[in-house]
Amino acid sequence: MTAPTEGRTMHSPQHQHGDARHQPRSVATHRAAVADLLAPLLTADRVETLALRDALGKGLAHDIAAPLSLPPFANSQMDGFAINTADVSDGGAELPVADPVPAGAVPAALARGTAAPIMTGAMIPAGADAVVPVERAVPDRFPAPGAESTVWLPATAAGTFVRSAGSDIAAGERALAAGTFLGPAQLGLLAALGVGEVAVRRPLTVLLVTTGDEVVEPGQPLPAGKIYNSNGTLLESAMRQAGLDVVRTAIASDRPDELRALLRSHAGSVDLIVTTGGVSKGAYEVVRQAMEGQAAEFIHVAMQPGGPQGIGMFDDVPFLGFPGNPVSCLVSFEIFLRPVLSVMFGAPAPRTAVRARLAHGLTSPEHKHQVRRGSFQPDGTVRLEGGDSSHLMHALAGSNALVHVPAGVSALAGGDEVEVWML
């Protein structure tokens, strides 16, 4: 069998053969293809209702309208005196002190011409329209409970230090939109609204299969010529961090029938198959061979690293084939799969994208979107970690960001601005 080459250049002669005949896809085109592949998984029955505690890190399934206003009632922003502002003239006024208003109670209406001590968060009594902070009163403290006394208060505008009902959100307004990532603040809002459980999108279960007969699991002795399996740990961790359920397995055989049997044994219980390795055009490409006869294609994306990609269906399960180098794997996940999950399912939260100045120059293949690894610095610069080679795990582990060099750019200088995704 003739093994065609990996076709790393845009116009290599191999493009006339088989599935390599197409021009490389753009990053955006391939990401859209991944979105199309996963779209059928966005069904109404992939929703589960969870207690707030269990919904952390999930994507909200439906819009949620506020069942009540926040705050639910007008309340005091300060410890102070609730007054009717008409009772205090421009020069201030001495008023008798009424019964205090604690938080959590429904107070009696304020008698005109009196001032009621009120605690932060307590309901504004009917008839009151402002709060004077206690430190502006004379004397500047509350009288002992039960003691009859008066207090001098300065003139105050109506509404001062009153949190009006619905000033944060009004009942019936949309509190959260479907597809919102549920972090602490979003769950805290639901709790404030009295919502005790929430419908979220069920996370995808991914079958992760690393391939390569040169690969040994960590903790085992390393025979000469072999390397340890880092893709499994790297991708499983990245997927779990992104909220996916992962079934991880590895195959060290280069026999396509064994890989097919492995995939079939899991296919009924997973939503997505992701493989690593075996997708380029070398002589021993077990994933390409196992997918023969399936509705899957092996294409080249104009990206470095991570150019060779497989995509399609294995039987009736969506399939993505990432390349075999660890950095290529992670970049494939971060550029193609993770952003699609964020947009489509609301989880994980999207990566923060920032503009940064390069600490030093770089070169990039002009027809490819290059993804470099870097350290984003507090001063807004980004330092490249390691070179552009996709085997540099130590450099990756010292990075906190992916640096984007778009297609059409062949060189950048120190100080040039780039887009950076924070890892």
Note whether 208 and 233 are within 8 A (CB): no
Scored b (16 or more CB within 10 A) or e, 338-361 reads bbbbbebbbbbeebeeeebebeee
Interface pick for a second copy out of 89, 91, 104, 292 (rule CB under 8 A): 104
For the chain, what percentages of helix, strand and coil (3-state, to nearest 5) are there? Answer: 20, 30, 50
Locate 262 and state its tokens: 């492995």
Q: Given the complex with a second copy, which of 100 and 318 has the nearer CB atom?
A: 100
Selected range binding a second copy among 26-34, 140-148, 292-300, 364-372, rule: CB under 8 A: 140-148
Minimal distance, residue 94 CB to a second copy, in Å: 19
Q: What angle do CA 127, 133, 136 make, to 5 degrees?
A: 120
| Strands, E assignment, 212-314 | 215-216, 227-228, 245-251, 272-276, 296-300, 303-304, 308-314
Q: Given the complex with a second copy, which of 183 and 406 has the nearer CB atom?
A: 183
Interface pick for a second copy out of 106, 126, 261, 295 (rule CB under 8 A): 106
Interface pick for a second copy out of 130, 208, 209, 215 (rule CB under 8 A): 215
**Residue 100 sits in the site that holds a second copy (CB under 8 A):** yes
**Residue 102 sits in the site that holds a second copy (CB under 8 A):** yes
**Residue 313 sits in the site that holds a second copy (CB under 8 A):** no
**Residue 169 sits in the site that holds a second copy (CB under 8 A):** yes
Binding positions for a second copy, 271-300, rule CB under 8 A? 280-284
**Residue 194 sits in the site that holds a second copy (CB under 8 A):** yes
**Residue 65 sits in the site that holds a second copy (CB under 8 A):** no
Within the chain, how many helices (H) and strands (E) appear? 8, 27
Task: Give the DSSP letter of residue 169.
Answer: B
Q: Given the complex with a second copy, which of 113 and 127 has the nearer CB atom?
A: 127
Interface pick for a second copy out of 241, 249, 253, 269 (rule CB under 8 A): 241
Binding positions for a second copy, 9-28, rule CB under 8 A? 9, 12-14
Locate 182 and state its tokens: 């549920």
How many residues sit in the footprint of a second copy (CB under 8 A)? 122
Q: How far apart are CA 97 and CA 392, in angstroms?
A: 73
Q: How far apart are CA 207 and CA 350, in angstroms?
A: 22
Note whether 43 and 348 are within 8 A (CB): no
**Residue 83 sits in the site that holds a second copy (CB under 8 A):** no
**Residue 183 sits in the site that holds a second copy (CB under 8 A):** yes
Selected range binding a second copy among 85-93, 180-188, 310-318, 364-372, rule: CB under 8 A: 180-188
Q: How far apart are CA 375 and CA 385, in angstroms?
A: 7
Interface pick for a second copy out of 238, 262, 317, 384 (rule CB under 8 A): 238
Q: Given the complex with a second copy, which of 153 and 317 has the nearer CB atom?
A: 153
**Residue 207 sits in the site that holds a second copy (CB under 8 A):** no
Minimal distance, residue 412 CB to a second copy, in Å: 18
| Strands, E assignment, 24-177 | 47-51, 64-65, 75-76, 80-83, 93-96, 116-118, 130-133, 150-153, 162-163, 174-176
Q: Which of 416, 421, 372, 418 is nearest to 401 (CA)?
A: 421
Q: Given the complex with a second copy, which of 243 and 318 has the nearer CB atom?
A: 243
Binding positions for a second copy, 356-395, rule CB under 8 A? 376, 378, 380, 386, 389, 391-395
**Residue 157 sits in the site that holds a second copy (CB under 8 A):** no
